[in-house]
Amino acid sequence: MTPARAKSLQTRLLVWVLGLVTLVWLGAAALTWVDARHELDELLDGHLAQAAALLVVQQSRADGDDDDGVADAPSLHKYAPKVAFQVFHEGLLTMRSSNAQLTPMSDVAAGFSTVSLLDGAKWRIFSTYGAERDVQVYVGEQIASRSTILWAVLRGVLFPLAFALPILALVLWWAVRQGLAPLRYLSQMLVQRQPQTLEPVVLADMPSEMEPMVQALNGLFLRIENMVASERRFTADAAHELRTPIAAIRAQAQVAQGAGADFAQRDHALLATLAGCDRATRLVEQLLTLARLEATSAEPTSQTTPSPRVDLSGVTRRVAAELAPAALVRHQVLELEAEAACWVSGNDMLLGVMVRNLIDNAIRYSPDGARIRVVVAVQEGQSTLRVEDSGPAMTAPEMARLGERFYRVLGSGQQGSGLGWSIVRRIGAVSGGHLEVSRSALLGGLAVQVGWPTPPVG
């Protein structure tokens, strides 16, 4: 079953506009008909009354001829058969038109009436008395003649309108087509674009009605471009970073394979292989976390749906408890100061990843016996997380580069991918946090502070 073809917007506009114009035209024609007929009836009724008045005056000025014969008026015009009159004196017909009957044309003695005469046609009759009430005058006109005159009047009015209607339709079609030209141009532009082309759409003289649509389309292109760039970065990062641990694992496997009966060498190679696997696993987890963060930041967020409220103190206590054994192995002092509740807007899992990376970095890059202090508090209307250590100090250029992909401070003696700080910064950006890196005035090492606006209660 083939899908129904979508209706053209131009066709819809033309149908609606022409339909409405036609209805208005027909309504105007009907009003013209009614008004013209009313005015014509008034005019012709006045004509009948005037003709009757002339007959009355003529009869009153007659010299009293005693001739009992009936005077027939001659027919002087081609339309004369459509008009008839009668004059009765003392009940006797004294004058009539050649097409008038011998009996009175109407039963109404005075005024207008509509009757059917012997020929079956309908007549409009005006009846009146003469100067004396013994004189009765009837003047009539065929109603069909009125319709003929009415049609002659309407032809002069309606025929030009009927001629103008097709011209109006053609003009409307041209106007609608010109008005929709930007839409057609946009459609052609999108059809001709290559799949990898994600530049914004730019239209000259774009109508205001199209601006929201084009802006939304450009926003979509921007989000797609960000997602594609994120996927490309992930692929490049994974290919670049996984090459080293995989090569190390392969080398250690070859060493174990060639160790033969040297169990100590084989065990050492296998332990190195396991360490390489752990490093590769950690690297993959970091890469996947960073990819999810970038995908999340590329998606449009709803302004009407607020982020969930998360207890930062609870998250920090949980993560610190999980990392405490690693600090004890190195005889480090891990201090935690967390208020009963410290609420922030964000995602519980992502905030946990951020806190884990910050504390884990402090543990791994600080020497044995170092002091690590973690503080969660509300300061000046902000919920803050501060992690500082007594490890080696970093220079200002080194602190400025923290967060760059795969950047690691040389000489730390610790293995890593250099993605932890990238993940911390991305989570901070996604959750609305502000991250500051400085030298710890209390412990002398690195101090990292993240602040979030306190979310409203409810």
In the chain, where the domains are located: 9-165, 208-298, 309-453
CA gap 272, 414 in Å, rounded: 15
What class has domain 208-298? mainly alpha
Rounded CA separation 293/296 (Å): 5
- How far is it, in rounded angstroms, from Cα 255 to Cα 249? 10
Would you state the pLDDT for residue 63? 45
- CATH no., domain 9-165: 3.30.450
Q: Can you point out the beta strands (E) in 152-232?
A: none
Q: Which two tokens stand for residue 419?
A: 């993605």
Provide the 3-class DSSP secondary structure of residue 153. Answer: helix
Residue 212 has what pLDDT? 83
The CB-based long-range contact list for 37-46 (8 Å cut-off, 24+ gap) reads 37/146, 37/150, 40/146, 40/149, 40/150, 40/153, 41/146, 44/124, 44/141, 44/146, 44/149, 45/112, 45/124, 45/126
* Contact between 379 and 456 (Cβ < 8 Å): no
Fold classification of 309-453 is: Heat Shock Protein 90 (3.30.565)
Residue 302: the pLDDT is 45
* pLDDT score recorded for residue 411: 41
* CA geometry: angle 412, 417, 420, nearest 5 deg: 90
pLDDT beneath 70, residues of the chain = 1-10, 39-40, 42-44, 46-81, 118, 230, 233-245, 260, 279, 282-283, 286-287, 289-307, 395-420, 456-458
pTM summary value: 0.45
| Sequence-separated (6 or more) residues with CB below 8 Å from residue 404 | 418, 421, 422
